Amino acid sequence: MASGFFAILDDIAALMDDVAVTAKIATKKTAGILGDDLAVNAEKSTGFVSNREIPVLWAITKGSFINKLIIVPVTILLNVFLPSAIIVILIIGGFYLAFEGVEKIAEYFFHKKKPEKKLTVEVLKQDPDLEKVKIKSAITTDFILSVEIVIIALSTVLDKSLSVQILTLSVVSILATVGVYGIVALIVRMDDFGYSLIKGSNNKGLFNAVGLLLVKSLPIVIRILAVVGTIALLLVSGGIFAHNIEFLHHILPNWPTMLKEFVLGIVGGIIALVSIAIVKKIILLFKK
């Protein structure tokens, strides 16, 4: 009986070793998209008043965990019973991300800002309905990015046992969520930490200088993240198209990979944007 118990422990230890190795490989494979995930979610998690930043971020983080609780088992089941469906889901998700990226660009260049609304910015930031919309948008985007992360992680363990696949995807999902939103939390609280340093230093010395730098840097960081997040959406979507649509995989072979994926993301976003606009007009015609 004792030998059987130790044999079980040995099997568990061997399984954990396998999972540690596969999780490390999977994390390296998903590093690029995790960077994109960080940029996109940091941009989506900002723009709230100070006392709402952490509650909003916590709501998005819980949504991210729920996303992965759904995605991991569904991905495993699809891989076993209907592997072709994973490609279809990825491409649909790619169009959603491309749409979001192109919509942001279109709003920046073509949406006229109304001066009279400038005074109500702070009120809008505290609007519960607007907050719910932003949280829902962030969780939806996280869902698409999480699908990509889980599927890339799965591709590194296709030759492993089902138990190793499940544990590896679970470990990568937890690390991705905790890592991404932990860093996002640090970013959105930069100014509060800066104010604490300024207050504690009595407006003098090195800590005061560091505090001022953090406070002044936050708006710049947020603007940079807005740009990087939009580019990330287009790169991720373009990468999905290039890797999963055979024709696009072989098109423009001499172009740099990033440029090709960026262009494919823009084209996919334009197609999605135009298609949605046409569908909306058709619905309005029927309503009339």
Rounded to an integer, what distance in angstroms lies between the CA atom of residue 3 and that of residue 19?
24
**What are the tokens at 19?**
């999972």
Identify the pLDDT of residue 6: 46
Let me know: does 29 contact 156? Beta carbons within 8 Å.
Answer: yes
Position 265 scores a pLDDT of: 92
Of residues 235, 230, 219, 225, the one with CA closest to residue 104: 230
Q: How far apart, in whole angstroms, are the C-alpha atoms of residue 261 and residue 251?
A: 11
Give, in order, the Cα–Cα distances in Å from 53 to each of 88, 191, 193.
35, 12, 14
Q: What is the pTM of this model?
A: 0.69
For the segment 174-183, the average pLDDT, to the nearest whole number, is: 86
- Give me the mean pLDDT over the 251-256 stretch: 86
Q: Which amino acid is at 50?
A: S
Report residue 190's pLDDT band, with 50, 70 and 90 as the boundaries: confident
Q: What does the angle CA 276 – CA 115 – CA 226 come to, to the nearest 5 degrees?
A: 55
Q: What confidence tens digit (pLDDT) does each residue in 6-45 have?
A: 455 555 666 566 667 676 766 665 555 666 667 666 766 6
The CA distance from 10 to 15, in Å, is 9
Report the pLDDT value the prediction gives residue 124, as an integer from 0 to 100: 42
155-166 mean pLDDT: 80
pLDDT exceeds 60 at position 122: no
Q: Among the ranges 36-50, 83-97, 178-192, 261-275, which has the highest mean pLDDT value?
A: 261-275
State phi, psi for 112 to the nearest 5 degrees: -80, 125
Round to whole Å and give the CA distance between 162 and 168: 10
Confidence class of residue 110 from pLDDT cuts 50, 70 and 90?
confident
Instruction: Give the residue-averaged pLDDT of 258-266.
Output: 92
How far is it, in rounded angstroms, from Cα 70 to Cα 65? 9
What pLDDT does 52 receive? Answer: 74
Task: Note the pLDDT of residue 54.
Answer: 80
User: In the predicted model, is pLDDT for residue 270 greater than 90?
Assistant: yes
With beta carbons less than 8 A apart as the criterion, state whether 268 and 236 touch: no
Amino acid residing at 181: Y
**Half-sphere exposure in the Cβ direction for 259 (13 Å, CA):** 6
pLDDT at 271: 94
**Rounded CA separation 48/224 (Å):** 17
98 contacts 236 by C-beta, under 8 angstroms: no
With a pLDDT cut of 70, the percent of the chain lying above it is 77
Mean pLDDT, range 277-283, rounded to an integer: 89
44 close to 52: Cβ distance less than 8 angstroms: no
Q: Is 65 exposed, middle or buried (0-12, 13-18, 19+ CB in 10 A)?
A: middle
